[in-house]
Amino acid sequence: MNAQSKSDFELVKLYEKFKTEEKTGDFYSIEDSLWNDFILLFEKTITSEDFDKIDNLKKKKEEFEQFSIIETENKQFTMYCISKYYNNNWSYVVQSKNESNRKIILKSIDKFEYYKDIYELNANTILIIQKFNEMSFSCYQAFVFQIQSNRIIQKKAFNQNDNLIVCSGTNIDESRIIKDPITGLPKLEDKMGYYKAEPIVFNPKNKMISFEFHNPRNGKKELRKAKYKKEKFNIESFDVRTFID
């Protein structure tokens, strides 16, 4: 067995041990220990020459709540996201100067949110889009990071704000008082509305960021968009939670 296939084999083996303990074990400490071993090997693998040899682990992607690997167009940056449970996500951005020089430059460990997309804005600047779900809402956020030597700096790229946030209602209580057709008395009609989350979208060809949202003030669907100019996006966030009493 060569070194490339060994990493993949060990990752799958550790993950299967974790899943077995999750189903049958009584002690979270054992699960945590197995998961930590898995994560340590995963981090080691994605920064090694074996990074593109995890085909057997990829075959298990349906067992993870989140599992994604996305490369930027010129393959200088790779985004990884895996989940332990529904709201426990591990996200990474790896910079690759060559196959033997790969390092993690960003990571989000055991977080509610997870990295969704990655794009290069220029040779040393990246756009990260992440997502999280919160009760009846789904939120997307966008961040711009600049890589300078051995540092990575978050830029105020959205009208002097650190991030762009778009939160929309996905499970909305639309109950209302109606007239009972039999008694003629008022009664509560229970109703839930289910809506698709509105994502932040980026077009790398024209460097345009955009999102749609339903304006609670007028009930209309609106579009906001902006082009990346002078290292900024001239665009405002939208958070429907600010309209909730």
Q: Where are the domains of the chain?
A: 115-245
**Residues in Cβ contact with 219 at an 8 Å cutoff, skipping those fewer than 6 apart:** none
Q: Round to whole Å and give the CA distance between 105 and 42.
A: 15
pLDDT, one tens digit per residue, over 56-106 is: 888 888 888 889 999 998 889 999 999 988 778 999 999 987 767 899 999
Residue-wise pLDDT for 208-222, tens only, equals 999 998 887 777 889
Q: Note the pTM of the prediction, 2 decimals.
A: 0.83
**pLDDT tens digits, residue range 166-213?**
988 776 666 778 888 888 888 887 776 666 778 999 999 999 999 998
Q: Which among 190, 222, 228 is positioned nearest to 208, based on CA atoms?
A: 228
Reported as half-sphere exposure (CB side, CA atoms, 13 A), residue 206 has a value of 7
